């Protein structure tokens, strides 16, 4: 695993009615926020705290949100150059930023390209105007096509688009048509998500007494399957529960998460994993700015060395024991098409997969949900649909 960095930009042009991520529409603090982020990046670099398990794989940097494209592109470029300069990012690093069609402009795309960003992930969701309206998105289908064109003209080849299924009023053919058009536009990576109604969102209020307006689960599953099958037929293979790509265009950043790799995270509500500690930053723009402005390299070093909550900036959510890491292995590895590797597991934990998970593996192979082939144990097509159940069997 290489070194991975995540940076959270918690600003959006407007809050989407279905979204429960930490993001705010008020951008008045954006400039101070970026200054605070750079301070945290510098403090982390100066602290001497390092990644546990670096191999010869490329570094990754992922700027997510929120909507990174709704703040000045120069600020995104500042973040990239700070991390590059302070950590000496490798020349072949994968550097991704998320964008939304409504805030992407040709000038911003050019600045992204010039600062070294080489992958863009865009929240398209659908190319059906009625569906986009239901979702309360700020762009229409023409805006999404225009944004893809802007990225291509700026020289981006590695573009990922998000698609959603199960949106009230969406049909199977509308979902398929959106996926088909993306492939025809040359998109090489698509992330597919099903709408879920989250607590505290406007969608929860809208649909709690109107459940009949929601797509029935069987129809939603069919939509999801047909989209995934269409993507695969067009050369974008499923390499993870929610992700399809042309070979070589998989997200290296996310592959590192699923391999249980370390990653540092900067910014409000950003969660990281380093030196066996899972930690999170304050989920408040003002609270984050306050803490990040004051954090010192010594405080960060002390936090990671002592493994105690002693930092205002970072709160420990878990200290991973060997047993927890072993349990987490199938949880992460089975998300991917490669699944679990017997060799990798034994090398890491000096135990065999069979010794730890033998009963659950055998049972799920018998039920046709897992496949064992040489070194690998992975989910079958049906197993992908019931991944939660298989993983539950392995963990408990």
Any residues with CB less than 8 A from the CB of 330 and at least 6 apart, and which?
Answer: 340, 357, 391, 394, 395
Residue 381: C-alpha distances to residues 60, 183, 323 (Å): 30, 22, 29
Report whether 102 contacts 123 (CB < 8 A): no
Residue 182 as a binder of ligand SF4 (CB under 6 A): the answer is no
Q: Using CB under 6 A, which of the segments 13-21, 178-186, 190-198, 356-364 binds ligand SF4? A: 13-21
CA distance linking residue 341 with residue 347, whole number of Å? 10
Where is 378: in which H helix or E strand? strand 376-379
Q: What SS3 state is found at 218?
A: helix
Residue 134 as a binder of ligand SF4 (CB under 6 A): the answer is no
Interface positions, 218-237, toward ligand SF4 (CB under 6 A): none
Per CB under 6 A, the list member of 15, 78, 113, 145 interacting with ligand SF4 is 15
Q: Using CB under 6 A, which of the segments 10-18, 172-180, 325-333, 381-389 binds ligand SF4? A: 10-18
Per CB under 6 A, the list member of 7, 12, 131, 231 interacting with ligand SF4 is 12
CA distance linking residue 359 with residue 390, whole number of Å? 12
CA distance linking residue 153 with residue 135, whole number of Å? 28
Residue 100 as a binder of ligand SF4 (CB under 6 A): the answer is yes
CA distance linking residue 262 with residue 17, whole number of Å? 33
Cβ at position 139, least distance to ligand SF4 in Å: 10
Write each residue from 60 to 79 as x if it is in contact with ligand SF4 (CB under 6 A), else as -, in one continuous string.
-----xxx------------
Residue 311 as a binder of ligand SF4 (CB under 6 A): the answer is no
Residue 383 as a binder of ligand SF4 (CB under 6 A): the answer is no
HEC string for 102-156 = CCCCHHHHHHHHHCCCCEEEEEEECCCHHHHHHHCCCCCHHHHHHHHHHHHHCCC
Residue 16 as a binder of ligand SF4 (CB under 6 A): the answer is yes
Interface positions, 266-305, toward ligand SF4 (CB under 6 A): none
Per CB under 6 A, the list member of 2, 68, 101, 123 interacting with ligand SF4 is 123
Q: Tell me the site size for ligand SF4, rule CB under 6 A.
A: 11
Residue 101 as a binder of ligand SF4 (CB under 6 A): the answer is no
| 13: Cα within 13 Å, side-chain hemisphere | 13
Any residues with CB less than 8 A from the CB of 135 and at least 6 apart, and which?
Answer: 16, 17, 18, 125, 126, 164, 167
20 vs 328, beta carbon nearer ligand SF4: 20
Backbone angles phi and psi of 197, in degrees to 5: -85, 110
Q: What is the DSSP string of 158-209?
A: -EEEEEEE--TT--HHHHHHHHHHHHHTT--EEEEEE----TTSHHHHHHHT
Cβ at position 125, least distance to ligand SF4 in Å: 8
Cβ at position 102, least distance to ligand SF4 in Å: 9
Residue 379 as a binder of ligand SF4 (CB under 6 A): the answer is no
Residue 21 as a binder of ligand SF4 (CB under 6 A): the answer is yes
Q: Using CB under 6 A, which of the segments 9-17, 280-288, 344-352, 363-371 binds ligand SF4? A: 9-17
Residue 197 as a binder of ligand SF4 (CB under 6 A): the answer is no
Q: What SS3 state is found at 372?
A: strand
Residue 260 as a binder of ligand SF4 (CB under 6 A): the answer is no
269 vs 361, beta carbon nearer ligand SF4: 269
Residue ranges that bind ligand SF4, judged by CB under 6 A:
12, 15-16, 19, 21, 23, 65-67, 100, 123
């Amino acid at each position: 695993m290489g070194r991975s960095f995540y940076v959270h930009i918690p600003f959006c042009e407007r809050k989407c009615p279905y979204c429960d991520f930490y993001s705010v529409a008020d951008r008045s603090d954006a400039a101070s926020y970026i200054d605070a982020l750079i301070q945290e990046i510098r403090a982390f670099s100066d602290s001497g705290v390092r990644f546990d398990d670096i191999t010869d794989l490329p570094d990754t940097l992922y700027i997510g949100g929120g909507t990174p494209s709704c703040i000045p592109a120069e600020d995104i470029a500042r973040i990239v150059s700070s991390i590059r300069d302070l950590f000496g990012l490798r020349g072949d690093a994968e550097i991704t930023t998320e964008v939304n069609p409504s805030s992407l402009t040709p000038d911003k795309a050019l600045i992204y390209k010039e600062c070294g960003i080489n992958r863009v992930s865009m929240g398209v969701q659908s190319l059906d105007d009625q569906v986009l309206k239901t979702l309360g998105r700020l762009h229409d289908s023409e805006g999404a096509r225009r944004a893809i064109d802007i990225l291509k003209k700026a020289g981006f080849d590695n573009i990922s688009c998000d698609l959603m299924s199960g949106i009230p009023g969406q049909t199977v053919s509308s979902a398929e048509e959106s996926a088909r058009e993306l492939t025809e536009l040359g998109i090489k990576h698509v992330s597919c998500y099903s709408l879920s109604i989250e607590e505290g969102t406007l969608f929860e209020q809208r649909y709690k007494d109107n459940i009949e307006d929601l797509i029935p689960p069987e129809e939603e599953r069919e939509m999801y399957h047909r989209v995934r099958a269409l993507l695969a037929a067009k050369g974008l293979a499923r390499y993870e529960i929610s992700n399809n790509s042309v070979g070589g265009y998989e997200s290296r950043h996310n592959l590192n998460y699923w391999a249980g790799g370390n990653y540092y995270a900067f910014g409000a509500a950003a969660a990281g994993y380093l030196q066996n500690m899972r930690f999170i930053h304050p989920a408040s723009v003002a609270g984050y700015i306050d803490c990040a402005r004051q954090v010192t390299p010594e405080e960060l070093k002390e936090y990671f060395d002592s493994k105690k909550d002693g930092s205002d900036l970072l709160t420990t959510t878990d200290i991973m024991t060997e047993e927890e890491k072993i349990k987490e292995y199938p949880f992460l590895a089975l998300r991917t098409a490669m699944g679990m590797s017997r060799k990798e597991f034994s090398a890491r934990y000096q135990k065999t997969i069979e010794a730890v998970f033998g009963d659950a593996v055998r049972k799920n192979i018998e039920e046709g949900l897992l496949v064992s082939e040489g070194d690998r144990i992975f989910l079958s097509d049906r197993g992908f649909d019931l991944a939660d159940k298989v993983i539950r069997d392995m963990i408990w």
